[in-house]
């Protein structure tokens, strides 16, 4: 398996009236070919900005990159000329947005939007583009695709529109699909249909970056998980290891807050306090003010991302290697040497 | 114990109008014949997908939507009589917590004004007692009284939802309708607010009508569950029984569709297609168009919500409920092909 996407030290800041807002701070992770990676965190943690940032889909200004490189098939997306980037967007990397209703144009028929995507990237005549679009709508399980091609987005339900979005994202057979909360706006029975569809991607050897706050969805689909908190990465690891043996106290707390469908505790375990404002992050570990294990050092320095096992990283001083080097007790090994 | 709230054959329809004279051309049957009781201190979880009528039902109980027919009784008294002055004492007894903590608090009112408005309106306190009453309420929901003179925009979603809760419990209601009260909150804050609602239920002997699409939340807070589909109740019963072993094919599909972390993938029914429009609900059983167990008869006969076995607290509206609940080999074989 080869590395498809490699994000290194990505930093995105928005200049606001109240000062610079660090939305993404030093995020590094990679996606292998055919791998499904879940980017998990609560609202405002920077997961969507990370995903949109790597395709340069963030309005600049007010946004700007403060650091980082994003290597995709050997090229740095952040420094690519716009016309070259356009050949990658949609063709090699496509995005499924959360709100299909606002991602599609309300003034154009579904078919026209699908065909435009095809014809923009491939030398197809109208007839072939039409047939290919119908074929893909069929594949994503939309009933009566010929009729849906002639419909306007408002005539379709949310679940049907999300299928159109997925067809549009898959049509050009991209190497990477970024799905930003693809099922959050949908009902559970429709979500089950869409998850089933996304699962078939795995067999097509496409990589998927799935952004979600729903740990159940992550468990069902992902191979590897990246957890973010307050603009930074706190933990990374393969699904099963991370769920069964979380290293970072935040990951642990997040998993504890999942409500079981089968049992019932007397009291739910909670994370005290609130997420800090991105305009006023604490100096040390950003989770320290809410962390039950925090000690003095946590409030003073930011913990680096320690490597704790094969493919596993945790940004917590408690995850530091057991035998610290006395001269240099803290940073064990940088994530990307 | 006599029920606190009794809903009998309630219908709430919204007219669909056309043309310059707003001619009524049809109705959205949001709630189409729902009967439901809530005992004092009981929490009833109302679940279903968007458009099933659960929010409309809650709003109708509160008098925020006009009902077409049916009865709503609170402690035996009909709710929402036509004369306006009679509604004031009833409003004290039923309160609501809304989903969106951003739009449900008036941005121009201070926290003190928000939480004591009901008390003043009901003449339960004098204006000069406002600050004390507000401080007491804020402490009850776990907030510092020092925030009394601040405005809603200064608070996070979780804090705002605590303010909404303080406002709802201020007038000592007996029933609180929680419409997706924790759905807009992040998981770490959601647990805090749920714990608060559970504590207040015990200390104030509150009954909740807890409307949510999140079955994990319902499992945690509800004593009894009511499952709605397209304006009608398809199944009701004790929360543990309905969620652990749902009987109605729709409840089964709904519960199996929830992705749950840990453990192996469960048996899952993936329903075909979308929920039909509630302006033209299918004849017979409303679920028959998507039901994996539907028989030709289902398209004709309207199933009645009946006890699954005589005297049982579980009620199911399905003509095949006996086959489904039967533990015999035949029933297993029936379900085998459907629930993979």
Interchain pair B186, A275: CB under 8 A:
yes
What pLDDT score does A335 carry?
Answer: 46
What does the mean pLDDT of chain B come to? 86
Give all strands of the β-sheet with A3-16 in edge-to-edge order: A19-32, A3-16, A63-72, A75-76
Average pLDDT on A203-229 reads 89
What pLDDT score does B156 carry?
Answer: 82
Instruction: Report yes or no: A279 at the B interface, CB cutoff 8 Å.
Output: no
**Residues B4, B38 contacting (CB under 8 angstroms):** yes
Interchain pair A268, B220: CB under 8 A:
yes
Select the residue of B186, B243, B274 nearest A43 (Cβ to Cβ): B186
Residue A59 within any structural domain of the chain: yes
The ipTM of this complex is 0.77
Residue A329 within any structural domain of the chain: no
Whole-Å CA distances, A74 to A30, A70, A71, A208, A336: 13, 9, 6, 18, 16
Q: Any idea how long chain A is?
A: 337
Residue A278 within any structural domain of the chain: no
Average pLDDT on A128-146 reads 88
Q: Indicate whether B110 pLDDT > 90.
A: yes
**CB burial of residue B149 (10 Å; 0-12, 13-18, 19+):** exposed
The structural domain count of chain A equals 1
Give A43-58 pLDDT, tens digit per residue.
888 888 999 888 888 8
Interchain pair B259, A143: CB under 8 A:
no
Q: Provide the chain A residues 88-117 that lie in CB contact (below 8 A) with chain B.
A: none
Find the CATH number of the domain harbouring A18. Answer: 3.40.50.300
Domain boundaries, chain B: 5-244, 247-340
Q: Indicate whether B297 pLDDT > 60.
A: yes
Lowest mean pLDDT among A114-123, A152-161, B218-227: A152-161
Where residue A322 falls among pLDDT bands split at 50, 70, 90?
A: low
Q: How far apart are CA B3 and CA B307, in angstroms?
A: 19
Q: Indicate whether A255 pLDDT > 90.
A: no
What pLDDT score does B264 carry?
Answer: 61
Whole-Å CA distances, A26 to A43, A48, A304: 18, 15, 10
Give A288-312 pLDDT, tens digit per residue.
888 888 888 888 888 988 888 888 9
Give B257-273 pLDDT, tens digit per residue.
888 777 665 667 778 77
Structural domain range at position A63: 3-243
State the pairing for strand pair B43-47/B77-78.
unpaired
Helical spans, DSSP H, in B62-129: 87-93, 111-121
Instruction: Report yes or no: B195 at the A interface, CB cutoff 8 Å.
Output: yes
Select the residue of A217, A262, A270 nearest B259 (Cβ to Cβ): A217
Flag whether the pTM goes above 0.95: no
Interchain pair A259, B214: CB under 8 A:
yes
Question: Of A146, A179, A172, A143, which is closest to residue A160 (Cα–Cα)?
Answer: A143
Residue A61 within any structural domain of the chain: yes
| CATH superfamily label, B5-244 | P-loop containing nucleotide triphosphate hydrolases (3.40.50.300)
Q: How far apart are CA A47 and CA A62, in angstroms?
A: 18
Interchain pair B189, A274: CB under 8 A:
yes
């Amino acid at each position: 398996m080869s590395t498809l996407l490699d994000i290194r030290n990505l930093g995105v800041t928005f200049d606001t009236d109240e000062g610079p807002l660090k939305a993404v701070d030093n995020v590094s992770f990679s996606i292998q070919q055919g791998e499904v990676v879940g980017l998990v965190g609560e609202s405002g943690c920077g997961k969507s900005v990370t995903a949109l940032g790597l395709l340069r889909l963030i309005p600049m200004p007010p946004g700007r990159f403060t650091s980082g490189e994003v290597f995709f098939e050997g090229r740095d997306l952040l420094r690519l000329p716009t016309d070259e980037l356009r050949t990658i967007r949609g063709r090699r990397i496509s995005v499924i947005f959360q709100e299909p209703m606002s991602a599609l144009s309300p003034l154009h028929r579904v078919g026209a939007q699908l065909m435009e995507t095809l014809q923009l990237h491939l030398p197809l005549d109208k007839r072939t583009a039409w047939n290919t679009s119908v074929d893909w709508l069929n594949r994503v399980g939309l009933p009566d695709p010929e009729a849906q091609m002639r419909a306007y987005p408002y005539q379709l339900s949310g679940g049907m529109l999300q299928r159109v979005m997925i067809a549009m994202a898959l049509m050009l057979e991209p190497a990477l699909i970024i799905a930003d909360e693809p099922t959050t706006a949908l009902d559970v029975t429709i979500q089950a249909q869409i998850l089933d569809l996304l699962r078939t991607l795995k067999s097509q050897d496409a990589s998927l970056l799935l952004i979600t706050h729903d740990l159940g969805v992550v468990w069902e689909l992902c191979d590897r998980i990246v957890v973010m908190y307050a603009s930074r990465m706190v933990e990374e690891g393969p699904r099963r290891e991370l769920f069964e043996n979380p290293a970072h106290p935040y990951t642990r707390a997040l998993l504890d807050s999942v409500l079981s469908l089968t049992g019932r505790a007397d009291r739910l375990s909670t994370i005290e306090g609130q997420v800090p404002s991105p305009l006023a992050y604490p100096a040390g570990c950003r989770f320290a003010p809410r962390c039950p294990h925090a000690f003095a050092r946590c409030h003073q320095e930011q913990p680096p991302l320690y490597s704790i096992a094969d493919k596993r990283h945790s940004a917590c001083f408690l995850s530091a290697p057991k035998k610290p080097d006395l001269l240099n007790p803290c940073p064990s090994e940088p994530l990307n040497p | 114990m006599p029920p606190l709230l009794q809903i009998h054959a309630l219908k709430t329809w919204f007219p669909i109008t056309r043309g310059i004279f707003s001619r009524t051309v049809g109705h959205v049957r949001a709630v189409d014949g729902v009967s439901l009781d809530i005992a004092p201190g009981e929490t009833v979880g109302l679940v279903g997908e968007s458009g099933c009528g659960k929010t409309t039902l809650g709003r109708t109980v509160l008098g925020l939507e006009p009902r077409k027919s049916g009865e709503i009784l609170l402690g035996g008294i009909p709710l929402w009589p036509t004369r306006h002055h009679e509604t004031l004492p009833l409003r004290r007894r039923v309160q609501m917590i809304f989903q969106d903590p951003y739009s449900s608090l008036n941005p121009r009112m201070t926290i003190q004004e928000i939480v004591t408005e009901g008390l003043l309106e009901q003449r339960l306190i004098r204006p000069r007692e406002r600050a004390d009453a507000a401080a007491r309420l804020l402490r009850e929901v776990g907030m510092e009284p020092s925030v009394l003179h601040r405005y809603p925009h200064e608070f996070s979603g979780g804090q705002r939802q605590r303010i909404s809760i303080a406002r709802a419990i201020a007038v000592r209601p007996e029933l609180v309708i929680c419409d997706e009260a924790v759905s807009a909150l992040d998981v770490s804050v959601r647990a805090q607010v749920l714990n608060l609602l559970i504590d207040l239920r015990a200390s104030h002997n509150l009954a909740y009508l807890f409307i949510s699409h999140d079955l994990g939340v319902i499992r945690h807070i509800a004593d009894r569950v009511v499952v709605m589909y397209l304006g009608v109740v398809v199944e009701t019963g004790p929360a543990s029984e309905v969620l652990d072993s749902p009987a109605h094919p729709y409840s089964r599909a709904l519960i199996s569709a929830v992705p749950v972390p840990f453990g192996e993938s469960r048996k899952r029914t993936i329903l075909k297609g979308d929920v039909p429009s509630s302006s033209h609900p299918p004849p017979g059983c409303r679920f028959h168009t998507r039901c994996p167990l539907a028989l030709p008869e289902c398209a004709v006969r309207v199933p009645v919500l009946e006890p699954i076995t005589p005297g049982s607290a579980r009620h199911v509206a399905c003509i095949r409920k006996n086959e489904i609940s039967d533990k015999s080999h035949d029933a297993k074989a029936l379900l085998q092909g459907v629930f993979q």
